Amino acid sequence: ILASTYAATTFIFNNVLHTAFGAFLRTLSYFGLAFAIISFIYLLIQSFLRQFFYKRKKDPADK
């Protein structure tokens, strides 16, 4: 519900009324999207590295 309200508010202020507040909300949305993508990539790489080093410690004689 909060995301829908935020999206509607951003749309109204930015596209309908063309205000600076709408542009600020849109910029904030882009920063949030960039943060979410970077966080997702970081967590994905972190889990791959943990799994790689865990398997490496578990079976040292496999090499």
Per-residue pLDDT of the chain (63 residues; tens, 9 = 90+): 899 999 999 999 999 999 999 999 999 999 999 999 999 999 999 999 998 888 777 766 655
pLDDT at 12: 95
* pTM of the model as a whole: 0.69
pLDDT of residue 48: 93
Which residues have C-beta within 8 Å of that of residue 21, sequence separation ≥ 6? 13
- As for how many domains the chain has, the answer is 1
CB-CB contact of 29 with 21 (8 Å): no
H-state helical runs in the chain: 2-11, 20-58
Give the distance from CA 53 to its chain's centroid: 26
The pLDDT of residue 63 is 53
Which domain does 15 fall in, by range?
2-58
Query: Does residue 63 lie in a domain region?
Result: no
